[in-house]
Amino acid sequence: MSANSEAIVRQVQDVPGFRGVYYLIDRTTGVAKTLTLWDDERTMSESEEEGARIREETAQREGQQIISVERFEVGFSHLQP
């Protein structure tokens, strides 16, 4: 994990209800997506203000542009051990 990635995780890991994060990138196009995981819809909603601040600061620092923010409910999940 890069120093920037570690800094982002440190910022968000203390937000109540935070469960995890994935940073997905297409290295050919440079398009990236961040997926954060929360305990439930309530804690996700309560994190909105802090999340917006972290997104904006990170995008500005990294020279990125936020195109959209979407919210989804996990319908199914399976991870190999």
pLDDT tens-digit profile, the chain (81 residues): 666 677 778 888 889 999 999 888 899 998 888 899 999 999 999 999 998 998 898 889 888 889 999 999 999 999 898
Angle at 25 between CA 47 and CA 42, to 5 degrees: 15
Q: Is 36 helix (H, G, I), strand (E, B) or coil?
A: strand
pLDDT score, position 28: 96
Question: Does the reported pTM lie above 0.75?
Answer: yes
Type of residue at 45: S
pLDDT score, position 6: 79
pLDDT score, position 55: 87
pLDDT score, position 2: 62
- Residues 47 and 15: beta-carbon distance below 8 Å: yes
- Cα 53 → chain centroid: 12
